[in-house]
Structure 1
Amino acid sequence: MSQVLRGHAEDLYALELEELKKQDSGKLPANWTLSPQSVVTYLVGGKLKNGFEVTPKYIGNRRLMEIAVATLTTDRALLLYGLPGTAKSWVSEHLAAAISGNSGLIIQGTAGTSEESIRYGWNYARLLAEGPSEKALVETPVMRAMKEGKIVRIEELTRIGADVQDTLITILSEKSLPVPELNIEVQAVRGFNVIATANNRDKGVNDLSSALKRRFNTVILPVPDNIDEEIDIVRRRVESFEKVMEVPAEKPALQEIRRIVTIFRELRSGLTLDGKTKIKSPSGTLSTAEAISVVNNGMAMAGYFGDGRLTAEDLAAGITGAIIKDPVQDQVIWQEYLETVVKTREDWKDIYRACKQ
């Protein structure tokens, strides 16, 4: 695992999952590795009876995670919905890891995702040689999840064409997958369910049909409620990145993370934190995920092209790149923000100079 760039959640947090399993006294739904209460503890963190600390994977409203987990105990699928960068994929992965012990049953939704990617495909060499048979059938993650009673993840559901999306209706309502070529059907084993994610920025790309919407329970993941919550998320994810990538840099000072998060929150909301100055918002989402990326990039700059200590100069290029998506409109907005907000803050002179350069 030391050479793997990013391990699966069930591998990275194997110790926590094992400890939760040992301490779990709740009722387990069929084919779940943990009880619903323990799954929520795994997601939001907490201290077990023996003193073992479970790190939080999702920092936010605990009730949202309880709703998500409760949904997966029923016959309804779960749709995680929200702005880009609000941890939908992250939560989806950890839910699958905690419930099924396998977060790798996944379909990435794109405009080119076909019906065969969801239902099943064929080994055409074998099909031509032997004709239709179960040996010639190529199982998709959905079919495997149905057979094994596990969670399957579908990323960016609204990126998939509407006609392909509707392939899911029979699977979600009847819990079966017909294979008419072989005159058989695959029936879902208890424990099977679907977690899908969708961005509200993609609204209108391929809207879900009303028939498909009815088969999902939607949980909207919001941006972090307050600045301290967002800072904590960025800090934890950056520390995780530092361990995996072994960047030769010091841990970033909390002050630098606070400044990045402040910039992103103010530009995102169109108002300074003190509520005194209105500002224009750029075209990008400026999500928490992008803030994490900016700090990670700054650490790489500091570690390989600096003295190992994260400074404003290391962060400047990342900040500018994250904010300026439209080279004309966003450039004007960013310059106005630098002059009217950043320049006026006494302890922000270094970041003002670095970004101007």
Structure 2
Amino acid sequence: MTALTISALGSRSRTLLPGLLVSAMVAAAATFLSEHYGAPVMLFALLLGLAMNFLSADSVCKAGIEFTAREILRLGVALLGIRITFGQIAELGWQPVVMVVVLVTVTILVSIAAARAMGFNFLFGLLTGGATAICGASAALALAAALPAHTQKEKATLFTVLGVSALSTLAMILYPMIVRSLGLPPLQAGIFLGGTIHDVAQVVGAGYSLSKDVGDSATVVKLMRVAMLLPVILCAAMITRARGVEPGDKRPPLLPWFAVGFVLLAAVNSTGFLPSLVVEAGGKLSQWCLVISIAALGMKTQLKALATVGVKPILLMVGETVFLALLVLGMLKVAG
């Protein structure tokens, strides 16, 4: 490595560091608030980021905020793979696996159709449908990273993160009541909670509030939905490549590096060679990366831009959430 290369790397680091540090500070504040007040950390990170959006106009922080919102996000998505093993999926048998594949596929297709019927771009339906069907804010961020650049993409991503975080918190409170009122046995209760609530943390909270058995099955079903992130990202990349992009925009790669990283880490974790401390640390690092990146995304967005979304996108996301819950209940009834 030449002295010129070292100098260039040092200059690049100095350019990115202020924005990266600011994003990390916002993420730390969001984590503190989440731990003390019980609301989703992604929601706090987004709101605090929006409150500090003046920093993205600062030439000192701008480059680092842009880098964090893009590259740290992708690293966080790749690290999600370390939370999954193929053995966890096999333990539940073939029936829940088929149910998860069907509910994710149907929910996304219905969301795209509903978005088009309401006058939105089909990509917005893919983004909100994927977030609802897979894993909430994490899926929204992952899909946004795989989709082509667009003037409205960041606004749509932030709205989706805000929507799924709020709906996931509401579901964590309401869905255990539904489980009790319907008298669902532990396995079916776990499948319902793990198959319908958007974010992993809320699934864990709702499941273990009922019993350990419900919590265990809900968590595994939820991780199966997270595993669907890879094929959905690949499908999104293929669809957007086939449709083409606007002039001047860059085509997304067919196989994004963070998607490859996701499946490789899942495969390595499935071998059982990774110590539990490494798996736990990887999961926490993934969460940190996603929180930091959503804070950066918030700082890049003007609050008044989100205020102009109107009622229709809200109705779309609420409708997707209700549809997913009814679909899972219907599948459980058919399965007996």
Place the TM-score, normalised by the shorter chain, in its bin. under 0.3
Larger-gyration structure (1/2): 1
Question: Of the two structures, which has the highest relative contact order with CA contacts closer than 8 Å and spacing of 6 or more?
Answer: 2
TM-score, length-scaled by structure 1: 0.24
More helix by share: 2
More strand by share: 1
